[in-house]
Amino acid sequence: MTDQLNDQLLSELFTINDFVRFGASAFNQAGLYFGHGTDNAWDEAVFLTMFTLNLPDNLFAQVGDCKLTKQEKVELVAIFKRRIDEEIPAAYLTNQANFAGLPFYVDERVLVPRSPIGELIQQQFKQQLPKGLKPERILDLCTGSGCIAIACAYQFPDAEVDAVDLSIDALNVCQINIESHGLMEQVIPIQSDIFSGVEGQVYDLIVTNPPYVDQEDVDALPKEFLHEPEMGLGSGSDGLDITRKILAQASAHLTEQGVLICEVGNSQVHLQVEYPEVDFTWLTFEKGGHGVFMLTKAQLEQHLAIFRARA
């Protein structure tokens, strides 16, 4: 946006609705990518506008016709300009993201939460866990912002939850979120290269959203993704480098009735080619999403020789 356009906006736009409409049009014209909290230009404009005005999103319909002060207009133009010129995901501009109905702090040290696993958590994994099993210990592997671990803690308040990640930067963000949700006694952040930091520990449920983007997809990612930590996205040419290690080691960290839930996204096709012998249970989602599988401890042990040979 040029300075001349900025001045024009300040003089020609008056209400919250005016700015949201303009923002949505400008975002579409700029060809921005949406997928870090919203999936369209209108919702993105509403989110950024209401954040800038320090108002909750659910008030938008009630305040849309309210006129803005000059200072509010200046601040809105500034955040729209950053979103367009720098192609920064809105969640990083606001340091806010939602996952499984909960708010989280995020910055460029962690991926923006967007896993479909959130839907499973809100359902307390009722279709995946053995009937009647209330997990006493849960592991969130590759925790990032801690969103999966914290959401699990809300759904299973009596469970101990370990949140592990190789990145100290990510764990520092995770700690911010643990403290903001008041879960310091329940959710424990641990530095760990996959399972190295929890040696000898076993869990009723292991949930993991590891890096899984294959190299072809990494090379084609929209610019918004370049603001996310690279180590949280790519995982070798087929996206399975870390997943192979998880499959080879997970059974040793599960209780007898334990379950592994793992997301591999578009690399599902590579996983099925790599392990044609394995009967992965691919999970379905009401709110959209794909590439999440489930394996029990018994299934992991059944194919352990294969998993270890290809790790």
Instruction: Take residue 125 and report the two structure tokens written for it.
Output: 């994994």
Instruction: Strands of 42-134 (E only): list them.
Output: 97-99, 102-104
Residues facing residue 294 across a β-bridge:
261, 281
Supply the pLDDT for residue 2: 53
Supply the pLDDT for residue 279: 95
Phi, psi of 145 (to 5 degrees): -70, -10
Contacts of residue 54, defined as CB under 8 A and 6 or more positions apart, other chains included, come to none
Contact between 272 and 243 (Cβ < 8 Å)? no
Supply the pLDDT for residue 234: 86
Domain 113-310, CATH homologous superfamily name and number: Vaccinia Virus protein VP39 (3.40.50.150)
Q: pTM above 0.85?
A: yes
Is the domain spanning 3-94 CATH 1.10.8.10? The answer is yes
Residue 79 host element (H or E): helix 70-85
Instruction: Take residue 132 and report the two structure tokens written for it.
Output: 């009647």
pLDDT in tens, the chain (311 residues): 555 556 667 778 999 999 999 999 999 999 999 989 899 999 999 999 999 999 998 999 999 999 999 999 999 999 999 999 999 999 999 999 999 999 999 999 999 999 999 999 999 999 999 998 999 999 999 999 999 999 999 999 999 999 999 999 999 999 999 999 999 999 999 999 999 999 999 999 999 999 988 898 888 998 999 999 988 988 888 999 999 999 999 999 999 999 999 999 999 999 999 999 999 999 999 988 999 999 999 999 999 999 999 99
If you count DSSP H runs as helices and E runs as strands, how many of each does the chain have, helices first? 14, 9
Supply the pLDDT for residue 100: 96
Query: Which residue in the block uniquely carries the two structure tokens 């996959």?
Result: 194
CB atoms within 10 A of CB 58: 8
Contact between 206 and 161 (Cβ < 8 Å)? no
Supply the pLDDT for residue 144: 97
Supply the pLDDT for residue 1: 55
Residue 262 host element (H or E): strand 254-263
Supply the pLDDT for residue 5: 55
Q: Is the dihedral of CA 19, 24, 30, 35 positive or negative?
A: positive
Alpha-carbon 105 to chain mean position: 12
Supply the pLDDT for residue 8: 67
Q: What residues does each domain of the chain span? A: 3-94, 113-310
b/e for 117-137, b at 16 or more Cβ within 10 A?
bbbbbeeebeebbeeeeebeb
Supply the pLDDT for residue 53: 97
Three-state SS annotation for 28-46: HHHCCCCCCCCCCHHHHHH
